[in-house]
Structure 1
Amino acid sequence: MNSRRDFSNGRAALFDGIEEGGIRASSSYSHEIDEQDNDKAIDGLHDRVNLLKRMTGDIHEEVENHNLMLDRMGNDMDSSRGVLSGTMDKFKMVFEKKSSQRMFSLVVSFVVIFLVIYFLTR
């Protein structure tokens, strides 16, 4: 019976070492796979962050360009408002004088312009 106990103790010692080694090997292998997956995921996130960074830079550039364009358009509108207000002031001055000769010449000139445009478009 001693030989049997020695055999089972030897066998347990022999297989325990292999099983533990097998577990360690598979554990380290899965750990390496997990690290590789993490590295791939980190690389993917890095690429996405770089893409988002480029996109935000492009958006910022577009916003700056549109702001400049809107500023220029606002300045143009202010200048055209000045021109229109000057023209309206001149019209008010013409109509306030109530000169029959000026009113007659203004009406005649509008009628002539209307007739010329009418015959040209026909």
Structure 2
Amino acid sequence: MSYRREHRASRTSLFDGLDGLEEGRVRASSSYSHEISEPENDKAMDNLQDRVSLLKRLTGDIHEEVESHNRMLDRMGNNMDASRGVMSVTMDRFKMGVSVDLLLKQLKILSACLVLEMEVTYIEAQRWFPGV
């Protein structure tokens, strides 16, 4: 939050005294006279240089922020692609496991095992209890 306040304060100080900037013209405030002495000119040049360096620093910060966001979005895209691949393989396996042909094969195997178990149980019962 303090960064925003600092940014607004620096922006305000950057553009104070400049009217009509949007129209493409820079008009100095009424405190300036038409006759500017050399020291005042140097002071104005230093002030302008400070403002330009501030703008350069701000644009550099914005550029770094955009680059970091692009890297983050690239990583997220790569992770999403990897997740999509894993999900695709999982769905293929699920479809294969639920397919009708495989389900019928599993049902046949299960019924054969059940019949075999019943026969083994009947034979064992005859062996242990011959009269039943």
TM-score by length of 2: 0.53
Correspondence for 1:75: 104
Change (3 A) 1:117 1:55: farther
Residue-by-residue CA offset, 1:7-52 (whole Å, 9 max, x unaligned): x732221111111111111211120121011111111111111111
Cα RMSD after superposing both structures: 3.5
| TM superposition outliers: structure 1 runs of 4+ over 6 Å | none
Where does 1:53-72 land on structure 2 (aligned, <5 Å)? 53-71=81-99, 72=101
Alignment counterpart, residue 35 of structure 1, candidates 63, 76, 92:
63
Q: CA deviation at 1:75?
A: 2.4
Change (3 A) 1:25 1:117: farther
Which is bigger in relative contact order (C-alpha 8 A, separation at least 6)?
2
Change (3 A) 1:44 1:20: same
Provide the rounded CA distance (Å) in 2 between the counterparts of 1:115 and 1:80. Answer: 26
User: Could you say which structure has the larger radius of gyration?
Assistant: 1
Correspondence for 1:12: 40
Q: CA deviation at 1:54?
A: 1.0
Provide the rounded CA distance (Å) in 2 between the counterparts of 1:28 and 1:59. Answer: 46
TM-score by length of 1: 0.57
Provide the rounded CA distance (Å) in 2 between the counterparts of 1:22 and 1:75. Answer: 81
Unaligned regions of 5+ residues in structure 2, if any?
A: 1-32, 116-121
Provide the rounded CA distance (Å) in 1 between the counterparts of 2:69 and 2:50. Answer: 28
* Aligned positions, number: 89
By percentage of residues, which structure has more helix? 1
1:26 aligned to 2:54?
yes
1:52 aligned to 2:80?
yes
Change (3 A) 1:24 1:51: same
Correspondence for 1:116: 127
